[in-house]
Structure 1
Amino acid sequence: MSFWDIVWFIVIFFAFASYLLVLFSIVADLFRDPEVSGGMKAVWVVCLIFFSFITAIVYLIVRGRGMNERSAKKYAEARQAQDEYVRDVAGGSTISAPEQIAKAKELLDAGTITSDEFTALKAKALA
């Protein structure tokens, strides 16, 4: 096996791996899009199986811009959900300190928390 055979193998392998990534991203985008009917999804998948290269090129030309927009929308939704989760876990930072202290006082009066826990919650709210 010569040096150029190895280089050629690497180039072919890279092209094949890239092609597989494009196919997987097309299939993922196709099934992620709620606007496409089930029948059209089936047609796209069958065409991808039998005429894969030409179908991938047609899909990228016809729906390429939408792929990017849907991907950006999903990313924004995931980011917003993550931010909301972090706010919820962080102790409700949207609640002001007096409101947090008032809620802690209610818990203390109800006997749900001890005075030491109330003091810790109050210090956390004021910090």
Structure 2
Amino acid sequence: MDHPLLNAFWIMLWFFLWVLWLFLLFRVVMDIFRSHEMSGWGKAGWMILVVLLPYLGVLLYLIVRGAKMGEHDAEDAERREAAVQDYIRKAAGSGDGGAAGDGGDNVDRLAKLAALKADGHLTQEEFDQAKAKLLA
């Protein structure tokens, strides 16, 4: 008997496995190129292996350098977070029309004042006076 619903299920399963395979292949290729500790010859060797024998090449790469892929992701996330924080500091510091360093110092001082107020070392009035003096 012919089961068209079962055939549709199998076609969708193979399609999703193919998409998963492409995602994994591109992920490995991206990791090869962003790896800083690998030499150019090492990158070329891995690329030749991945292109000529894709299934074996990707499987070997995951076995040999799979842990490094996670480390590369963590390093990239840290680098992006640092860049975002640096941008926020620069944008907040240059909003007053002055030099970025002066505004950055003011932002740091305001943060310290807020921390002192939160810890209970400053009253609301002292905080408001110090804030007005700092922003003047």
TM-score (norm. length: structure 1): 0.72
Aligned residues: 103
Q: Greater relative contact order (Cα 8 A, min sep 6): structure 1 or 2? A: 1
For 1:40, the equivalent position in structure 2 comes to: 42
Output one character per residue of 1:10-32: Cα deviation in whole Å (capped at 9) or x when no partner.
10011110111111111101100
Q: Is the CA contact (8 Å cut-off) linking 2:49 and 2:57 kept in structure 1?
A: yes
Output one character per residue of 1:71-99: Cα deviation in whole Å (capped at 9) or x when no partner.
101110111011110110012553137x9
Of the structure 1 ranges 11-20 and 83-92, higher mean CA displacement relative to structure 2 is found in 83-92
For 1:82, the equivalent position in structure 2 comes to: 84
User: Matched residues, percent identical?
Assistant: 33
Any idea what SS the aligned residue of 2:85 has? helix
For 2:105, the equivalent position in structure 1 comes to: 95
**How far apart in 2 are the matches of 1:27 and 1:5?**
33
**How far apart in 2 are the matches of 1:15 and 1:33?**
27
Alignment of 1:33-72 (within 5 A): 33-72=35-74
Deviation at 1:126, TM superposition (A): 3.1
Any idea what SS the aligned residue of 2:105 has? coil
Which among 4, 16, 19 is matched to residue 18 of structure 2? 16
**How far apart in 2 are the matches of 1:96 and 1:15?**
54
**How far apart in 1 are the matches of 2:20 and 2:89?**
39
For residue 126 of structure 1, what is the amino acid of its counterpart?
Answer: L
Any idea what SS the aligned residue of 1:49 has? helix
For residue 70 of structure 1, what is the amino acid of its counterpart?
Answer: H
For 1:126, the equivalent position in structure 2 comes to: 135
